[in-house]
Structure 1
């Protein structure tokens, strides 16, 4: 109980010192500014992937949002770009604009991981662009896995046993979690200039990925059934999107705090000492039970 109180207090103190709510709000604001360019980039790239059902791929990507937000974003679907000269320019402009949000994420992670940033603005912007492209690829792959799950199942069924194919296809619903987990692992490990144990970053990434998936699911249910945003009028969709972005950013930064907690709070040593105490206590009880059995046997002989 003392150990739980100690580390819970440590975690709450760190969240307060790092001003996680302000950091998440700052990141969500810049993500909102860069959100439309990012969506335009994502949908433009999807339109260049010539599957037999390209619209379903886009709909699957929008499926991670609450329905009201997804309907609004669906109106942003760009017209197909046929000019080979216009497409690269449009993609570059969208990537550069959407990197503003990722730049805010990088600064927030630097604050949480207590890293003094020495890289220049252009260097950081290039890193932000790279992670925007990675995140876009993650969303496209996750959407493709959801849309083409049946096709993948048939492919696996033809080349493996029915049992193996069913096991693999049952995990397709975890595609979003796995993709987010890989992205957050890369983000926590690659963005801050620090040396940390990879397992600590894995734990933080798992927390953030699970948090995003669960929060998006329950937030969608809440928005559709229990909330009333009509007071905001025509701004209701924008407000919903802002709420969603804020809490997703908060969860992502909480994952970074989990990584820092494992790294700096001494939880590993505390658990090791607790394990040693438990083993000593167990051995002492074992000896006492053996002594009682021996005494009981001697009394019987007498």
Structure 2
């Protein structure tokens, strides 16, 4: 409980909610160039745009998902081969700003001081950005893995006839998605901060981000579906909800970073007592 209390106190006292707003802005700014880049790459792999939309649908508010789907279809209708390089440059630069914002926030959470020259830090952040631009598209292969696993498991017809199968298979699909998110956030909290962090020190934040973000998206999606935001914002309701969703996503990411920092401090104190 002390760790959770310290995380919440630091989040408000050190104004991490302001950092979350900055990060949300960069994430929103980078979203469409990044999608454009991913869609441009789809022709090179055995995936299609429906897989991308299927992966995003469970986590995105309905009104916001409609905006994303509309833009995806608009890109595909015009063809995407000729926008690959332009979208790559735009996505890379804007996404790097989001990564730099997150790196500064996580350094602050962990008490790291950036002693390196600006250009060295910039090159490092650009390298981290490139890494995640390569890792994130791997999520598109989850539906392929799910289909392959489904075919293996249902090789014998008797399994499909078993009534419990309809309850187990959705949990298997959820487990695969959760495992990917956990590994993604584990890598994220390991490499984004400029200071050295052991892999085991990133476990608490990765776990909280992976499952907390899914729970938040589920609750937020249920709330949005029962509240008519069009009366307040009209046609802008989808964009407003997308901004809120990105902001709360950034809040979870930064809370997880603080959780890692406080968990490590607590472990260090216990270690010193023992010695």
Which TM bucket (shorter chain)?
0.7 to 0.9
Question: Aligned to 1:236, what secondary structure does the other structure show?
Answer: helix
Pair 1:148–1:91, CA change in 2 (3 A): same
- Check conservation: 2:186, 2:202, Cα contact below 8 A: yes
Distance in 1 separating the partners of 2:228 and 2:179: 30
The answer to whether the aligner puts 1:242 opposite 2:243 as a matched pair is yes
Q: CA deviation at 1:137?
A: 4.5
| Structure 2 partner of 1:15 | 11
Q: Distance in 2 between matches of 1:226 and 1:249?
A: 23
- In structure 1, the partner of 2:49 is 55
3-state SS of paired residue (2:196): coil
- 1:7–1:267 Cα contact (<8 Å) kept: no
Task: After the TM superposition, list the runs of 4 or more consecutive aligned residues in structure 1 that deviate by more than 6 angstroms.
Answer: 166-169
Alpha-carbon deviation of 1:151? 3.6
| Aligned 8 A contact 1:18 1:111 in 2 | no
Equivalent in the alignment of 1:102: 99
Partner-residue secondary structure (3-state), 1:265: helix
Q: Which is greater in Rg? A: 1
Q: Which runs of 5+ in 2 are unaligned?
A: none
With 32-41 and 134-143 compared, the bigger mean Cα shift is at 134-143
- Greater RCO, 1 or 2 (C-alpha within 8 Å, sep 6+): 2
Matches within 5 A, 1:1-40: 4=1, 6-40=2-36
Which of 51, 65, 68 is residue 63 of structure 2 equivalent to?
Answer: 68
Does the aligned pair in 1 maintain the 2:24–2:247 contact within 8 Å? yes
Change (3 A) 1:90 1:194: closer
- Alignment partners' CA distance in 2, 1:97 and 1:8: 33
The answer on whether the counterparts of 2:3 and 2:263 sit within 8 Å (CA) in structure 1 is no
1:141 to 138, 142, 151: 138
Alignment correspondent of 2:220: 219
Inter-CA distance 219–8: structure 2 relative to 1 (3 Å threshold)? closer
Secondary structure in 1 aligned to 2:71?
coil
Closer, same or farther in 2 for the Cα pair 1:131/1:223, shift >3 Å? farther
Maintained 8 Å contact 2:110/2:261: yes
Displacement, 1:158?
5.2
Aligned residues: 261
Matches within 5 A, 1:211-290: 211-265=212-266, 269=270
State whether residues 106 and 258 of structure 2, in contact with CA within 8 Å, keep that contact through their aligned partners in structure 1. no
